[in-house]
Amino acid sequence: MIDHYDWAGGREAMLRFGPDTGPVVVAAMPLFEEANRARAFIVTILRALAAQGIASALPDLPGTGESLIDTENTSLNAWNAAFSSAAQHFDPGSRPVHAIAVRGGALVDATAPVASRWHFAPVAGEGLVRDMLRARLAAAKESGEAISADTLEPPGPPVELAGNRLSRTLLAELGRNVPSNRPPLRIVRLDTDTQPADRHVAAAPLWRRSEPGNDPDLARLLADDIAAWIATCAG
């Protein structure tokens, strides 16, 4: 069902899945174009959790999805504040709230008052900016337009990167932020990713595909991993 949550900057939409009691998983989508590519996949994970009796919420962050805020007016601080508010939508006294995040989503759960964090393929903000800048550079080479990394430095007008107009402040914030490592934290990565993790799984990086895809087998596997992790945290 479509619900809403309020935060200091306004009201945003939030998809809800599963029962009205018991633990709640609040999910942080990847950022920018990767969100479009991974949305169906994340919804499949949340539906699989619901089938196990675990509730979840998928908030739109300000400047993304159905938000009325322009993307160029958003910031990483705003995303952290909004995600915290989405987590606080649920009463932790009556139901434990856990955060899960995919890719750049792991950059927005740092301040949320949650019982645990679970990250899938978390990425530093610098890596995301580098990817978007690379795409822009590749496109610029085709068109003969001159562009360099200096183009992103604040102050200045928003920069168009990978189909989004983004503020230079946001890009600078991303450049210096890495995923929260506050425990309890569980990290799952693809087996092609050599960085340390609690578990590596064999699968393709769906967020790289220009045609939005899904991987129901991987979604079920990750839902099982999340369910087991939450049970451990409740232990």
Partner 1 sequence: MLPDDINEIDATVRAVLRDVLGLSEARVAGFRSETPLFGGLAELDSMAVAGMLTELEERLGILIDDDEVDGEMLETFGALVRFAASKANR
Tell me if 130 contacts partner 1 by CB under 8 A.
yes
Tell me if 134 contacts partner 1 by CB under 8 A.
yes
Tell me if 33 contacts partner 1 by CB under 8 A.
yes
Amino acid at 232: T
Q: Which of 9, 65, 96, 127 binds partner 1 (CB under 8 A)?
A: 127
CB nearer partner 1, residue 96 or residue 205: 205
Query: At closest approach, how far in Å is the CB of 151 from partner 1?
Result: 13
Tell me if 162 contacts partner 1 by CB under 8 A.
yes
* Beta strands at 10-17 and 24-28: parallel, antiparallel or unpaired: unpaired
User: Do the beta carbons of residue 176 and residue 105 sit within 8 Å?
Assistant: no
Tell me if 94 contacts partner 1 by CB under 8 A.
no
* Beta strands at 10-17 and 2-7: parallel, antiparallel or unpaired: antiparallel
- Of 6, 143, 11, nearest to 66 by C-alpha is 11
What is the total residue count of the chain?
Answer: 235
Tell me if 205 contacts partner 1 by CB under 8 A.
yes
Tell me if 228 contacts partner 1 by CB under 8 A.
no
Tell me if 47 contacts partner 1 by CB under 8 A.
no
Tell me if 135 contacts partner 1 by CB under 8 A.
yes
Buried b (16+ CB within 10 A) or exposed e, 3-27: eebebebeebebbbbbeeeebbbbb
Tell me if 202 contacts partner 1 by CB under 8 A.
no
**130 half-sphere exposure, CB direction, 13 A CA radius:** 7
CB nearer partner 1, residue 91 or residue 142: 142
Q: Which of 136, 159, 185, 218 binds partner 1 (CB under 8 A)?
A: 136
* Residues of the shown chain interacting with partner 1 in the complex, contacts defined by CB under 8 A: 33, 127, 130-139, 141-142, 162, 192-194, 204-205, 208-211, 213
